[in-house]
Amino acid sequence: MEIFNHNSNINFLGMRKFSVGIALLLILASIGLIVGKGLNYGLDFTGGVALVVDYQQPVVTTDVQAALDKAGIEHSLVASLGGTREVSIRFQPTAAMKDEAGKVNLDKVAAVTTAALQATRADAVVKSRNYVSSQVGDELRSDGIVAAIVVVLGIGVYLGIRFEWRFAVAAILTEFHDALITVGVFALVQREFDLTVLASVLAVIGYSINDKVVVFDRVRELFRSSRKAEPEEILNRSINNTLSRTIITALFTAITMAALYFIGGPVVHGFAITMLIGILVGTLSSIFVASPILLWLGVSKQDLMPKTKENPELARRP
């Protein structure tokens, strides 16, 4: 299946100053939003109370959410626990759930929550309750940042070994570009940023590098098979050769994420939205950003050709 002709000749590299300029502006804007406006961290990072509630009859999570909202317990996260009669609930404690010293009182949390739920369903019973401090959230946040950096650098090391150091540098720069812009969108719209979203940012990094490796592999093939072609021509041909594959992969992955958003329920909304943003950003960076960086780094045919027999290690081989 092809959307674009395999041998099309769209001059993507001719737009490199414009495309990379926009990418740099988006990176700076994202950093400004993240630092200036900040992210709307969810309960995973800010701390809060977590309860498990049992029902004698099946219950829908949206009904539980509505009952909590009606009682003034806003921005709660409700999820089903492996069935239709048990749910987990997380939220920031209200003033009525704290003692005179301002500390969270779990007995009051259970009492207020039970009253709110039993106002619509008398069979609701709080099974367990606990409190997660903001310190734990800070640790999760720092661990998540470290995980993202390690993933990007690990990908760079692999590409440096598998291809050549210029490919590794181009991949690392574009992966930071994709991740920063994806997170920057969350800072812009102030959508809740929780562990699910963080996990999807890591998934975006993995998805995005897949597209770039396909293009990089075609670059290597064309450099080795073309005798007199210039680097800019090789890079353009590589993007054009893989364009249909890139667009089709992005399209069907986006359709899957859209189905997850509309059918999967509110628990996976953050994951699906992050992936949709990341698919768009990662696809555009694979086409318009990664190859211009390779060109500016001076990639050439000699960088990818096998070493001659003058190399002592190769000379020992049969």
Q: Identify which of 48, 218, 45 has the alpha carbon closest to the alpha carbon of residue 136.
A: 45
Q: What is the pTM of this model?
A: 0.79
How confident is the model over 290-308, as a mean pLDDT? 77
The model's pLDDT over 50-66, given as tens digits with 9 standing for 90+, comes to 899 999 999 988 899 89
Q: Residue 318: what pLDDT?
A: 45
Q: Which CATH architecture best describes the domain 48-132? A: 2-Layer Sandwich (3.30)
Specify the amino acid at residue 66.
Answer: A
Distance CA 252, CA 268 (A): 18
Q: How far apart are CA 31 and CA 12, in angstroms?
A: 27
Task: Write b or e for each residue in 155-172: b if 16 or more Cβ atoms lie within 10 A of its Cβ, otherwise e.
Answer: bbeebbeebbebbbbbbb
Q: How far is CA 77 from CA 64, 69, 241, in A?
A: 10, 11, 45
Tell me: pLDDT of 313 over 60.
Answer: no
In angstroms, rounded to a whole number, what is the distance separating the alpha carbons of residues 286 and 209?
Answer: 8
For 13-40+136-304, CATH gives: 1.20.1640.10
Q: Where are the domains of the chain?
A: 13-40+136-304, 48-132
Q: DSSP letters along 21-57, please?
A: HHHHHHHHHHHHIIIII--EE-HHHH-EEEEEEEESS
- Give the range among 63-77, 148-162, 226-240, 294-308 with minimum mean pLDDT: 294-308
By three-state DSSP, how is residue 127 classified? Answer: strand
What is the token pair recorded at 211?
């597209």
Q: Write down the mean pLDDT value for the chain.
A: 85
In this predicted structure, what is the pLDDT of residue 104?
A: 84
pLDDT digits (tens, 9 = 90+) for 190-234: 888 888 898 899 899 988 888 888 888 898 888 888 777 788 888
